[in-house]
Amino acid sequence: MKPHLPLRTIQARARQDRSLRRDTLLALAFVAGWALFTGDVLAETVRVQTSSVTIAETDYPGALAEVRFANGQGDHTADTEFPLTLDGITVEVSAILGRGGADDTITVDAPEGLIAIPRTLTIADGTAGRVLIMRLDMEGM
């Protein structure tokens, strides 16, 4: 026979389950909304607190992909590094999050034979920017 749990424990677990489901649905809705808004079917996004970094297809002439940096509002507390992949292209991203309202910076390192333009992007809270991923021989275009 299973021991009975106190009512408060049962209520707390039920609230936690609802919260996790709500957060999951919100995350899925965000990704689906971004795809509809931008037209991206193939994209990978990493969220860093209130900011997001996405690698996606681009319509920029000569570019293979673009890395979009949407800098959310708020005082961030962690710097981080992570890979992003699209169609076999993996870039390494380093995010340096400004504290106390300072601008945030990402640095994008492209694989051999490709170049990130610009390699480093610094933007203010509430704004967005992009880094193009191009073949090294396309830099002058």
* 3 state SS for the chain: CCCCCCHHHHHHHHHHHHHHHHHHHHHHHHHHHHHHHHCCCCEEEEEECCEEEEEECCCCCCEEEEEEEECCCCCCCCCEEEEEEECCEEEEEEEECCCCCCCEEEEEECCCCEEEECCEEEECCCCEEEEEEEEHHHCCC
Give how many domains the chain has, as a whole number: 2
pTM above 0.75, yes or no: no
**Do both 53 and 122 map to the same domain?**
yes
**Do both 32 and 92 map to the same domain?**
no
**Do both 11 and 66 map to the same domain?**
no
> 48 lies in which domain range?
41-138
**Do both 34 and 56 map to the same domain?**
no
**Do both 128 and 75 map to the same domain?**
yes
**Do both 72 and 20 map to the same domain?**
no
**Do both 13 and 63 map to the same domain?**
no
Q: Which residues of the chain have pLDDT under 70?
A: 1-43, 47-49, 74-78, 100, 138-141
Q: What percent of the chain has pLDDT over 90?
A: 30
